[in-house]
Structure formats: C-alpha cells, structure tokens
Amino acid sequence: SQTIHQWPATLVQPVGSPLSLECTVEGTSNPNLYWYRQAAGRGLQLLFYSVGIGQISSEVPQNLSASRPQDRQFILSSKKLLLSDSGFYLCAWSVHGYYGYTFGSGTRLTVV
Amino acid sequence: SQQGEEDPQALSIQEGENATMNCSYKTSINNLQWYRQNSGRGLVHLILIRSNEREKHSGRLRVTLDTSKKSSSLLITASRAADTASYFCATDASGANSKLTFGKGITLSVRP
C-alpha cells in the first residue's frame, strides 16, 4: 500500500539556522511531489512541486528551496531561517489522473 | 494565489443536522476536490468531481459542481461530532493533477 512519511512532527529552530525537512513515499513510482505551507487559520500555499527526479518548480519566491534526489524523496531546505518561515509544512504526492493528493502528517515549524 | 474561496468561513451545527459548505473559484478547472483536515493533522482527500460532472456522492457526502457559476458545494448529511474538522476545496486547472490550488477552508463544528 502507498504511504507517505514526513518528519519531524514539530521543530523549533532559531532565526538564521538551517532547515531540512524530509518526505518519502512508499508503494508508488514516479509520483508528483509537493510542499505546501499552511499559516495559522489559513489555506495551503503551494511552495514547490516536482514531476520527476531533479525537476523542481517553485511557486513563490522565498527563503526556501527544494530538492528531489530520488524518485520518492522530497526535501525542503533553507540556509538561514527567518521568523516568517514559521508555519505548518505539508508534503503530498499524487499520480497523473483523476485522483486526489495524499498528504503527510505535517511538520509544525516554529522559528524563534 | 488562492483560487477557491469557501463559504461560510465557520459553521456550527447540531449533530444529526446537514452541513452545507460552498466553494467558488475564478478560472476554468479540470476538476475540483474536497479535503478534510483535523486539527494539527494532514489533509485527507474526500471526493473529486470532474468538470463534466454535476453531482457526485460518497457515503454521507454529496458534492455538486456548477461550472457556469464557477461554484461547488459539499453537503454532509446526518452530521456527527466526528465530522468536526476544517474542510477545503481545491481546484486543478491543469488537468494533469500536477498542481492543486486550495481555498482558505471552512471550520465545521458539530455539537453532540
């Protein structure tokens, strides 16, 4: 069965520190992968999506970057965190066609 | 930018009542999806309706789509306390399921 793993669940980081959030998918090949951010009480903002290894599309200019070193691995990174990077980060995957997205359980990032 | 806008922003009903949530969007879509999010968790896909469909059912869920009005509604019948969650509509304009745009969500509270 297909599963998605996202970790850590919560993270408190100081301003200026680096960030690495990892997401892995099991049970499917060549998925579309996504990073979303959700601010408190708001909808989801698409940050990055990838349709294949090494293929990353950025939706919003920001302090973050993403990489897809393997087919089922998606990494969200920052060299220096800002206070405004705080939020709930969600990884998701989908396949081509009329299917919904499957989301990970999310990472609550607090930059202090 | 957010494509879908849900209405109302918050809804409180008594257990057993029906809950109706609406979503409007701005541009042409290939399909529209509804998701549910329990507090602090990832999103769960509920139902997908294609642009050439007008109504779809899944258990206690009924979704309608009016492409001429660029709107959709989600009806939850015979609500339960466990239906308490945030509900999001999301639109796929590309047709390749490569990028969903989410609304800000509706907070549904079902009182026991």
For the stretch B65-102, pLDDT in tens is 999 999 999 999 999 999 999 999 999 887 665 688 89
Higher pLDDT, A107 or B8: A107
**pLDDT for A31 beyond 60:** yes
Most A CBs within 10 Å, among B3, B45, B74, B87, to test the A interface: B45
Predicted local distance difference test score (pLDDT) of residue A43: 83
3-state secondary structure of B81: helix
What is the mean pLDDT of the segment spanning A67-73?
95
Instruction: In whole angstroms, give the CA distance from residue A101 to residue B34.
Output: 10
**pLDDT for A1 beyond 80:** no
Among the listed residues B32, B34, B30, the one whose alpha carbon sits nearest the alpha carbon of residue B20? B34
What is the mean pLDDT of the segment spanning A70-76?
95
Neighbours of A48 (CB within 10 A): 24
Instruction: In whole angstroms, give the CA distance from residue B41 to residue A46.
Output: 17
- Distances from the Cα of A15 to the Cαs of A20, A38, A88, B8, B26, in angstroms? 14, 19, 17, 36, 37
- Put simply, the answer to whether B43 touches A90 (Cβ < 8 Å) is yes
**pLDDT for A42 beyond 80:** no
Taking CB atoms and an 8 Å cutoff, what residues of chain B touch A96? 96-98
CA distance B96 to chain A (A): 6
Predicted local distance difference test score (pLDDT) of residue B95: 61
Most A CBs within 10 Å, among B9, B43, B53, B107, to test the A interface: B43
Strand A107-111 to A10-13 pairing:
parallel
Neighbours of A52 (CB within 10 A): 12
Most B CBs within 10 Å, among A44, A56, A88, A105, to test the B interface: A44
Instruction: In whole angstroms, give the CA distance from residue A48 to residue A34.
Output: 6
Q: What is the largest CA-CA distance in chain B?
A: 41
Predicted local distance difference test score (pLDDT) of residue B97: 54
Average pLDDT in chain A: 91
Predicted local distance difference test score (pLDDT) of residue A19: 96
Among the listed residues B84, B109, B90, B110, the one whose alpha carbon sits nearest the alpha carbon of residue B10? B109
**pLDDT for A13 beyond 90:** yes
- Asked if A81 and A13 count as a contact pair (C-beta separation under 8 A), the reply is yes
Q: Which amino acid would we find at residue A97?
A: G
Nearest CA in chain A to B34: A100
Taking the Cβ of residue A94 and every Cβ of chain B, the question of whether any pair is shorter than 8 Å is answered with: yes
Taking CB atoms and an 8 Å cutoff, what residues of chain A touch B105? 42-43
Predicted local distance difference test score (pLDDT) of residue B1: 46
- Asked if A55 and A111 count as a contact pair (C-beta separation under 8 A), the reply is no
Q: What is the pLDDT of residues B11-65, one digit of tens each?
A: 999 999 999 999 999 989 999 999 999 988 999 999 999 999 999 999 999 999 9
Taking CB atoms and an 8 Å cutoff, what residues of chain B touch A103? 35, 42-44
